[in-house]
Chains A and B, each alone.
Chain A
Amino acid sequence: MSLPPESLVQQFAERFPRAVDTAPASDAGTGGSAAPMQPPPTCQVVDFKRRGVHVEAAVTAELVVVVARWLDENGYALDTVTGVDWLVSNEMEVVYDFFHPAAFWRVAVRVRLPRAAPGLPTISPVFPGANWHERETHEFFGIVFQGHPDLSPLLLPEDADYHPLRKDYRP
Chain B
Amino acid sequence: MSNTAVIAAAASAAAAGAETFVLNLGPQHPATHGVLRVKLTMDGEYITRAEPVPGYIHRMHEKMGENRTCAQFLPNTSRIDYLSAMHYTHAFVAAVERAAQIEVPRRAEFVRVITSELNRISSHLVWFGAFLLDLGGFTPLLYAFDDREKILDLLERITGARLTYCYYRFGGLYNDVDAEFLRGTREFTQYMRPRLAMYRDLVTDNIILRKRLVGIGIVDAEMCRRYGATGPVIRGAGVAYDVRRAEPYSVYPELDFRIPTHPEGDSMARYLVRMEEMEQSLRIIEQALDLIPEGPVQAKVPKTIKLPPGDTCFAVEAARGRFMVRIVSDGKDIPYRVKLRTPSFSNLSLFEEASRGMLLADALAFMGSLDLVIPDIDR
Contact = CB atoms under 8 A, between A and B. Distances in A.
B170 interface: no
A28 B308 contact: yes
Nearest to B245: A104
Interface in A112-138: 127-129, 131-132
Given A82-B326, A101-B241, A165-B62, A28 B227 contact: no
Given A84-B336, A132-B345, A155-B378, A52 B234 contact: no
Nearest to A153: B55
A170 interface: no
A99 interface: yes
A32 B330 contact: yes
Interface residues of B, number: 49
A23 interface: no
Given A84-B336, A106-B247, A129-B349, A52 B330 contact: no
Given A80-B324, A101-B241, A131-B349, A50 B226 contact: no
Contact of B247 (A30, A104, A164): A104
A78 B309 contact: no
Nearest to B237: A101
A79 B58 contact: no
A29 B98 CA distance: 13
- Which has the most chain B C-beta neighbours within 10 Å: A29, A77, A80? A77
A105 to B, nearest CB: 9
A33 B312 CA distance: 16
Interface string A129-160: 10110000000100000000000011111000
Contacts of B98: 49-50, 52
A27 B310 contact: yes
Contact of A101 (B55, B95, B225): B225
B246 interface: yes
Contacts of B239: 101-102
A108 B341 CA distance: 14
B54 A128 contact: no
Contacts of A84: 328, 336-337
A102 B239 CA distance: 7
Contact of A51 (B66, B246, B312): B312
B311 A104 contact: no
Nearest to B339: A82
Interface string A61-97: 0000000000000011111101011000000000101
A17 interface: no
Contact of A52 (B54, B226, B314): B314
B54 A78 contact: no
Given A52-B312, A129-B349, A155 B58 contact: yes
A167 to B, nearest CB: 9
Contact of B228 (A27, A32, A129): A129
Contacts of B246: 99, 104
A94 to B, nearest CB: 12
Contacts of A32: 309-310, 330-331
Interface in B214-262: 221, 224-229, 234, 239, 241, 245-247
Contact of B312 (A50, A101, A156): A50
A31 interface: yes
A101 B330 contact: no
A99 B322 contact: yes
A97 B324 contact: yes
A164 B346 CA distance: 22
B63 interface: yes
Interface of B: 54-55, 58, 60, 62-63, 66, 95, 98, 101, 221, 224-229, 234, 239, 241, 245-247, 308-315, 322, 324, 326, 328-331, 336-337, 339, 341, 345-346, 349-350, 353, 378-379
3 closest residue pairs by CB, A with B: A29-B310, A52-B313, A129-B227
5 contacts: A27-B310, A76-B225, A77-B224, A79-B341, A164-B60
Given A51-B310, A95-B339, A101-B239, 11 more contacts: A27-B310, A29-B311, A31-B310, A52-B314, A97-B326, A97-B341, A99-B246, A101-B241, A129-B226, A132-B349, A157-B55
